[in-house]
Chain A
Amino acid sequence: MPEDPVSSPSDAAGSYHASRDTAGALVIRFLGRLAADNASSIIRELDSLLAAERPAMLIADLGELRQIDDFGVVVLVGLKKAMGTLQGRFEIQNVEAGVSEILAMHRFVSLGQEGGAGRRRSADIFSRLGARTIAALRETGYMLQFLGDTCVSSWHVIRHPRVLRLGDTLTNMQRVGVDALPIVGLISFLLGLIMAFMSAVQLQQFGANIYVASLVSLSMTRELGPIMTAIIVAGRSGSAFAAEIGSMKISEEIDALTTMGFDPHIFLVLPRLVAAVLVVPFLTLFSDLFAIAGGLLVGITMLDLTVNNYIDQTLATLDLFDVALGFFKGAVFAALIAWTGCLRGFQVEGGAVGVGRATTSAVVSSIFLIILSDSIVVVILRYWEW
């Protein structure tokens, strides 16, 4: 019955033979195998064949098909779908037992009848606005609850200092403080150097070289020292806190702590919080010192100042309040960084993506909180005229 061959490419592993039968239907005889290795080329050829022929009826003859897998089934589903869009009929003929079993296994009859794979539909703007608002309120609620938990457990630790995990606190002090010292020192030194450089260009015009020492020491001790240190600590330790606690959360370690009767706050948050609050102020002092050293280097090499001159001027500019202010800011920033890092860690949901998001968010929110609280301090001090 098949006559008038339309096309018949040959393939070593498997192929097909297309022809028109007497009734005008397009008959495709599949030969050999129809599987993962030849499916995509056959799909392309048949697509162009169908586009050229546009038959009203398509018959897939599987009589000489020896082997088929799910890729092969997809070829047949594709034909069925294509005939659906052409509003023609599609039939399969001469299905052998082995092939029939595979078709049944993949429920060939029901395949390709629904539309394309349903994507996640995005909701309209009002639903999204509502969802975002609810999420923001929930998060605020959680933050307040977390803040409350931190306060309660801090109070508990103040009343019973022995419950604080001393070993963890010391380890964290080392990680947050000692390990950060080289990078804080280097960055502060370079910052002092740059500030001295830039201000010298202006001050030299008035012969006011000596004020480079005042400028570097005052701005570093009161403002930039604490802020730079805090930003480095946020990047190094705030992110680490969030990632550590977040990974513990997704591997159910925090649930384990709770079931064993430990308060996760006292166990995880407080050692980090206490460690950071204890060491970051000292880190800030080191930062001030290194920045002044950077300024000093510029002063003696480029501005004809002597070491004595420079140090005298620095001491005359700074009073104890400035140093204490930087020290105090260091403690405040440390509390914010540690608290935010732990909060973001506890908020982790899902898997690796959640941990990544928490880490980013920990750094970004701590830097924001650092700058915000610093501005508040500046405004208060202005008001009190210090």
Chain B
Amino acid sequence: MSNTEAKAGLETKRPMSGEPVIQVREMTAGYGSEILLRRLTFEVRRGEIFVILGGSGCGKSTLLKHLIGLNTPLAGDIVVNGRLITGHEEVLPQVLRECGVLFQGGALFGSMTLAENVALPLREYTDLPEAHIDTLVKMKLALVSLSGYENHLPSEISGGMKKRAGLARAMALNPQILFFDEPSAGLDPITSAELDQLILHLNRTLGTTMVIVTHELASIFSVADRVIMLDKRAKGIVAEGDPRHLQEHSKNPYVRRFFNREA
């Protein structure tokens, strides 16, 4: 597994520290009377690549929506970057400025070109002069290998390109935390591996904390420092730790089957 080796080389330079950047305490989430996750507690440490995984319908994406404040938990607390966001909607805009989110389909604004999509947060939240914003936008798009597509509309590019452009937009303000919803979904293996490399690279050079929702095993093994695994029946976490360790040594047969891709 060459990805793992490549990762081992990077690990020494990982800007990880023990300080928690996201804390979820006793959180219960669900829709109406249906409870998806019960009394969930975990934390994400600064600088790590944290993967939330689990089978379909276990509440991965729902959990992500709670972490970025789009949904409110039924009970419990969520602290992001030292600020309690549950019950304190007023701190959300400030907290979200320190976060970037890459949605499944990229969620680019269809009426704007790629350059305008990336420039939007820069124009809105920094007072950089316009010429410098142009340069920065070009750099951001070059970083995700989209040089030359500045003036394309989202409808004119492929799904993988949309996703990369979405990443460029999510990274526009160099956020401290990046959230990814299924980054590999719908990408070919090469593009998907490139995206993994980009995630590792950004984590290493900028020290960005990454929270990734995925069930792509190859991707999990190449990028994840730590994972939590959710389960539909348990309505909570069934495994937590290093995926390579869990693959071999987990006591839970379901977890071992998941990591070894067995029916």
Do A and B form a real pair? yes
Q: B139 touching A106 by the CB < 8 A rule?
A: yes
**B217 interface residue per 8 A CB criterion:** no
Q: B135 touching A71 by the CB < 8 A rule?
A: no
Q: Which of A40, A119, A120, A353 contacts B127 (CB 8 A)?
A: A40
**Interface residues in A87-120 (C-beta closer than 8 Å to B):** 101-102, 105-107, 111-112, 116-120
Q: Which of B128, B139, B142 contacts A43 (CB 8 A)?
A: B128
How far apart are A96's CB and chain B's nearest CB, in angstroms?
14
**Interface residues in A189-229 (C-beta closer than 8 Å to B):** none
**A236 interface residue per 8 A CB criterion:** no
Q: A78 touching B154 by the CB < 8 A rule?
A: no
How far apart are A103's CB and chain B's nearest CB, in angstroms?
11
How far apart are A71's CB and chain B's nearest CB, in angstroms?
7
What residues on B are CB-neighbors of A277 within 8 Å?
none
Q: A116 touching B131 by the CB < 8 A rule?
A: yes
Give the residue name and chain of the B residue nearest to A69 (CB).
Answer: B174
Give the residue name and chain of the A residue nearest to B148 (CB).
Answer: A118
Q: Which of B127, B143, B153, B174 contacts A35 (CB 8 A)?
A: B174
Q: A352 touching B126 by the CB < 8 A rule?
A: no
Please report the C-alpha to C-alpha distance between residue A105 and residue B153 in the assembled complex, in whole angstroms.
Answer: 26
- Mask of B155-174 contacts with A, CB within 8 angstroms, 1/0: 10000000000000000011
Knowing A43-B132, A351-B110, A353-B110, say if A118 contacts B155 (CB, 8 Å).
Answer: no
What residues on A are CB-neighbors of B142 within 8 Å?
106-107
How far apart are B204's CB and chain A's nearest CB, in angstroms?
10
How far apart are A52's CB and chain B's nearest CB, in angstroms?
17
Give the residue name and chain of the A residue nearest to B138 (CB).
Answer: A117
Q: A69 touching B135 by the CB < 8 A rule?
A: no
**Interface residues in A30-49 (C-beta closer than 8 Å to B):** 35-36, 39-40, 43-44, 47
Knowing A106-B143, A118-B151, say if A111 contacts B135 (CB, 8 Å).
Answer: yes
Please report the C-alpha to C-alpha distance between residue A352 and residue B105 in the assembled complex, in whole angstroms.
Answer: 14
A-B contact count (CB 8 A): 78
What residues on B are CB-neighbors of A350 within 8 Å?
110, 153, 155
How far apart are B192's CB and chain A's nearest CB, in angstroms?
21
Please report the C-alpha to C-alpha distance between residue A120 and residue B151 in the assembled complex, in whole angstroms.
Answer: 7
Knowing A102-B205, A106-B143, A117-B138, say if A70 contacts B174 (CB, 8 Å).
Answer: yes
**A168 interface residue per 8 A CB criterion:** no
How far apart are B198's CB and chain A's nearest CB, in angstroms?
11
Please report the C-alpha to C-alpha distance between residue A40 and residue B132 in the assembled complex, in whole angstroms.
Answer: 9
Q: B132 touching A78 by the CB < 8 A rule?
A: yes
How far apart are A168's CB and chain B's nearest CB, in angstroms?
28
Interface residue range, chain A: 20 to 34
What residues on A are CB-neighbors of B173 within 8 Å?
36
Knowing A40-B128, A81-B131, A117-B150, say if A73 contacts B155 (CB, 8 Å).
Answer: no
What residues on B are CB-neighbors of A43 within 8 Å?
128-129, 132
Most buried by B among A74, A81, A101: A74
What residues on B are CB-neighbors of A44 within 8 Å?
129
Q: Which of A40, A47, A112, A119 contacts B135 (CB 8 A)?
A: A112
Give the residue name and chain of the B residue nearest to A82 (CB).
Answer: B131
Q: Which of B110, B150, B174 contacts A352 (CB 8 A)?
A: B110
**B206 interface residue per 8 A CB criterion:** yes
Q: A74 touching B155 by the CB < 8 A rule?
A: no
Knowing A40-B128, A117-B115, say if A351 contacts B174 (CB, 8 Å).
Answer: no
What residues on A are CB-neighbors of B201 within 8 Å?
105
Please report the C-alpha to C-alpha distance between residue A75 and residue B113 in the assembled complex, in whole angstroms.
Answer: 25
Q: B126 touching A78 by the CB < 8 A rule?
A: no
Q: B135 touching A78 by the CB < 8 A rule?
A: yes
How far apart are A92's CB and chain B's nearest CB, in angstroms?
16
Q: A71 touching B174 by the CB < 8 A rule?
A: yes
How far apart are A66's CB and chain B's nearest CB, in angstroms?
13
Please report the C-alpha to C-alpha distance between residue A268 and residue B135 in the assembled complex, in whole angstroms.
Answer: 48
**Interface residues in A316-364 (C-beta closer than 8 Å to B):** 349-354
**A371 interface residue per 8 A CB criterion:** no
**B12 interface residue per 8 A CB criterion:** no
How far apart are A39's CB and chain B's nearest CB, in angstroms?
7
Q: A74 touching B110 by the CB < 8 A rule?
A: no
How far apart are A284's CB and chain B's nearest CB, in angstroms?
38
**A50 interface residue per 8 A CB criterion:** no
Please report the C-alpha to C-alpha distance between residue A47 and residue B131 in the assembled complex, in whole angstroms.
Answer: 12
Give the residue name and chain of the A residue nearest to B108 (CB).
Answer: A351
Give the residue name and chain of the A residue nearest to B111 (CB).
Answer: A353
Query: Given A117-B115, A350-B155, 14 more contacts at CB 8 Å?
Result: A40-B127, A40-B128, A40-B129, A43-B128, A47-B129, A70-B140, A71-B136, A75-B132, A77-B132, A101-B205, A106-B142, A120-B113, A350-B153, A351-B155
> Which residues of B are in contact with A by a Cβ distance under 8 Å?
110-111, 113, 115, 126-129, 131-132, 134-140, 142-143, 150-151, 153-155, 173-174, 201, 205-206
> Which residues of A are in contact with B by a Cβ distance under 8 Å?
35-36, 39-40, 43-44, 47, 69-71, 73-75, 77-78, 81, 101-102, 105-107, 111-112, 116-120, 349-354
- 17 sampled A-B residue pairs with Cβ under 8 A: A36-B174, A39-B126, A40-B127, A43-B129, A69-B174, A70-B136, A70-B139, A71-B136, A75-B132, A78-B131, A101-B205, A102-B205, A105-B201, A106-B139, A106-B143, A117-B138, A118-B150
